[in-house]
């Protein structure tokens, strides 16, 4: 309903449409990082021991890498938006 207007000042020597897309993707990635780092009401309490935190982080990395892999392997249309 409302148009998005923004200004980008950069020293990248690319086409304006490429620069705009690059910064849009970067903003989207930063939003996902922000969402992932915000504790939610149903998130488990972070363990106090270093080893427990390390395992938890590795499990999250594995899940993220699996999701990225599945997004790039060319899934059938009904599954592509998952």
pLDDT tens for each residue of 25-52: 887 777 777 776 665 555 566 667 888 8
Check residue 61 and give its pLDDT: 92
Q: Which residues of 41-77 are buried (b: 16+ CB within 10 A; e: fewer)?
A: eeeeeeeeeeeeeeeeeeeeeeeeeeeeeeeeeeeee
Coil, strand, or helix at residue 1? coil
Average pLDDT estimate for 62-75: 81
Check residue 46 and give its pLDDT: 63
Domain that holds residue 60: 16-80
Looking at per-residue pLDDT, the higher value among 60 and 12 belongs to 60
Residue 20 forms part of a structural domain: yes
Tally of domains in the chain:
1
Residue 11 forms part of a structural domain: no
What is the value of pTM for the model shown? 0.37
Percent over 70 (pLDDT), the chain: 73
């Amino acid at each position: 309903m409302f148009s998005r207007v923004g200004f980008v000042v950069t020293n990248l020597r690319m086409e304006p449409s490429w620069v705009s897309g690059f910064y849009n993707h970067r903003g989207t990635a930063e939003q996902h990082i922000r969402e992932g780092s915000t504790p939610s009401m149903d998130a488990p309490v972070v363990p106090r021991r270093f080893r427990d935190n390390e395992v938890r982080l590795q499990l999250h990395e594995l899940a993220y890498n699996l999701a990225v892999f599945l997004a790039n392997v060319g899934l059938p249309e009904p599954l592509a938006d998952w």
